[in-house]
Amino acid sequence: MGLSVLHSRARVGIEAPAVTVEVHAGIGLPSLSIVGLPEAAVRESKDRVRGALANSRFEFPAGRVTINLAPADLPKEGGRFDLPIALGILVASDQVRRDQLETHELVGELALSGELRPVDAVLPAALAARAAGRALVLPEANASEATLVGGLEVLPAADLLEVCEHLNGLSPIAPYRHTETAAAPLNGPDLADVRGQPQAKRALEITAAGAHSLLMLGPPGTGKSMLAARLPGILPSLSDAEAVEVAAVRSVSRGQQPTAADWRVRPFRSPHHTTSAVALVGGGVNPRPGEISLAHHGVLFLDELPEFDRRVLEVLREPLESGRIHIARAARSAEFPACFQLIAAMNPCPCGHLGDPSGRCRCTQEQIARYRGRLSGPLLDRIDLHIEVPRLPPEAFQHPPEGGLETSSQVRERVSAARELASARAGKPNAALQPQEIDRDCALDGAAQRLLTQAMQQLGLSARAYHRILKVARTIADLDRASRIEPVHLSEAIGYRRLDRQLDPSPMSARATPTRTKD
């Protein structure tokens, strides 16, 4: 009888803090106790472990067994500690050798037969194990997810007996072969499917190039949802660091485990307008990521924006500014990344037909104002571009233009070039520029400054809107490969602040978002 020490990992948000599993098998009346703030699933592991040891033909110690999960103040949850607890008992009772324990970390849930079942949040544990310089022993079903990290020795096992033979040197487990994570082909919807709407397509390109947020205002059936669904297709592929962050968020979310097939593919999330605040931003007794975190480094599309509960929408204000969401509960708190591009769509009025040439709209100006008033000023202030998507005449759908429509791959080339300019200049997309960086990278000459000052006075823009106009203008200049922001770039950026103006009941077709015509 003796003491054994093994290494495992807990789950807190998208982090995997180290947990030391200490097992002492001593003399005394037969008993098994687990200390170290275990939750119900961890306390129940003693019955799973006892059955797994018996069915794997090991002897359970006859004396008093004490298991400590350190640190003591970190809550432990789930069945991920079954495997290290079982091995700790076997090592402490001298049934398994201890000389390899320091170089291994172990996670896995045990069946009563001794079979290993998969656990969640494996990718954060794999990242932490790689940083600690240890091999990771885990169930076979989790092996492919763990190898997404790269540079880690992943040792998959089918059952407890296989792990014991590995530690005893009888039959070493072969490391799982690393899966290549080449960029997946983009087979999503193509921008060429959208007929007409040149102003909206131009705004979508600017949105992609600068990682900006976008609000589309227009009657039903004008292509708002089609345009939003095609934004991921014109965005650059995820970098290695971004892909790991996206996969880590999916790893800790139930039913969202990452695979090699979606590696480097930007997420696209489109929750229904009945979504609750917890589902959107995350939460629960044991906090899990919500839709905004699952859209990290991707697109969050909110259709019928005014139909969302106002309290739900207001929680978006913090992550839109900081790119992170902090969830605090009485028992614990967690922080999740939430650097997403918000794309929203809404009707111009309650019935949706304001500006329709048929005159079907009978909404009063008071009703329209009340409908749009469901969106708070601070939230609208944080959306970089507001554009109108008007109804098109029937002839726009009959014949495609000469030379065809631009495809997503053609637009993506321009977007990638603009992003490379921004990255070389500031190391980040233009939407993420901080005030000091805006002063440095978005400096205006005399004519441009006068134009912006006049717009601020006439439209009553806030200081936040002022900075967002400058960021959008910088993106437009990058698409033109211009070193400085010219008045033409600034005037186009100002034109994309449609909802900063007073309500105008005139037809939408006569109020299309101003844009430049390419030569």
Q: Tens of pLDDT along 38-64?
A: 999 999 999 999 999 999 999 999 899
Both structure tokens of 403:
């030379």
pLDDT band at 403 (very low <50, low <70, confident <90, very high): low
| Residue 205 and residue 149 in one domain | no
**Within a domain: 302:** yes
Count how many domains the chain has.
Answer: 2
- Tell me, yes or no, whether 181 lies in a domain: no
Q: Judge whether 218 lies within some domain.
A: yes
Q: What is the DSSP letter of 159?
A: B
Same domain, 157 and 210: no
Model confidence at 255, pLDDT cuts 50, 70, 90, reads: low
Same domain membership, residue 333 and residue 232: yes
Higher pLDDT, residue 446 or 156: 156
pLDDT higher than 80, residue 185:
no
Do both 257 and 370 map to the same domain? yes
Give CA–CA dist 120/107, Å, rounded: 10
The helix/strand/coil state of 499 is helix
Alpha-carbon distance values, 166 to 2, 92, 119 (Å): 21, 17, 21
Bridge partners (DSSP) of residue 402 are: none
The tokens describing 432, both together, are 């993420």
CATH number, domain of 273, equals: 3.40.50.300
| Domain match, 214 and 65 both | no
Asked whether the predicted pLDDT for residue 464 surpasses 80, the reply is: yes
**Packing angle of the helix pair 463-479, 487-495 (nearest 10 deg):** 120
Residue 285 has phi, psi (to 5 degrees) of -60, -45
Q: Is 178 exposed, middle or buried (0-12, 13-18, 19+ CB in 10 A)?
A: middle
The confidence score (pLDDT) of residue 179 equals: 56
Domain that includes residue 451, residue range: 191-510
* pLDDT for res 47: 94
Same domain, 146 and 221: no
Under the phi-then-psi rule, with left for phi > 0, alpha for psi from -120 to 50, and beta for the rest, what region is 15?
beta
Q: With respect to residue 105, please indicate whether it lies within any of the assigned structural domains.
A: yes
pLDDT, residue 449, reads 92
Q: Strand pairing partners for 343?
A: 214, 301
| 26-37 b/e (C-beta count within 10 Å ≥ 16 → b) | eeeeeebebebe
Q: How confident is the model at residue 184 (pLDDT cuts 50, 70, 90)?
A: low
Token pair recorded at residue 401: 């233009």
Range 230-236 average pLDDT: 94
User: Would residue 201 count as lying in a domain?
Assistant: yes
How far is Cα 60 from Cα 51, in angstroms, rounded to an integer? 10
Regarding whether 423 and 285 lie in a shared domain, the answer is yes
Are 343 and 207 a contacting pair, CB within 8 Å? yes
Domain boundary among 130, 152, 167: 167
Residues 151, 290 within the same domain: no
Any domain includes 516: no
- Percentage with pLDDT > 90 across the chain: 65
Candidate from 8-17, 134-143, 173-182, 483-492 with smallest mean pLDDT: 173-182
Alpha carbon distance 374, 310 (integer Å): 7
Question: Where does 278-403 show beta strands of DSSP type E?
Answer: 282-283, 288-289, 299-302, 324-328, 333-337, 341-346, 385-388
> pTM (2 decimals)?
0.86
Residue 118 has pLDDT above 70, yes or no: yes
Q: How confident is the model at residue 458 (pLDDT cuts 50, 70, 90)?
A: confident
Is 460 in the same domain as 405?
yes
Q: How far apart are CA 71 and CA 479, in angstroms?
A: 52
**C-alpha separations of 364 from 278, 390, 503 in Å:** 35, 20, 12
User: Considering 117, 152, 167, which residue would you say is the last residue of a domain?
Assistant: 167
Let me know whether 246 and 332 are in one domain.
yes
The span from the CA of 48 to the CA of 209, in Å, is: 53
Residue at which a domain ends, from 152, 167, 182: 167
| DSSP class per residue in 10-65 | --BTTB--EEEEEEEEESSSSEEEEESSB-HHHHTHHHHHHHHHHHTT-PPPSSEE
**In this structure, is residue 519 part of a structural domain?**
no
Length of the chain: 519
Give the model confidence (pLDDT) of 328-365 as tens digits: 876 678 889 999 999 999 999 999 888 777 778 889 99
Residues 163 and 87 in one domain: yes
CATH number at residue 17: 3.30.230.10
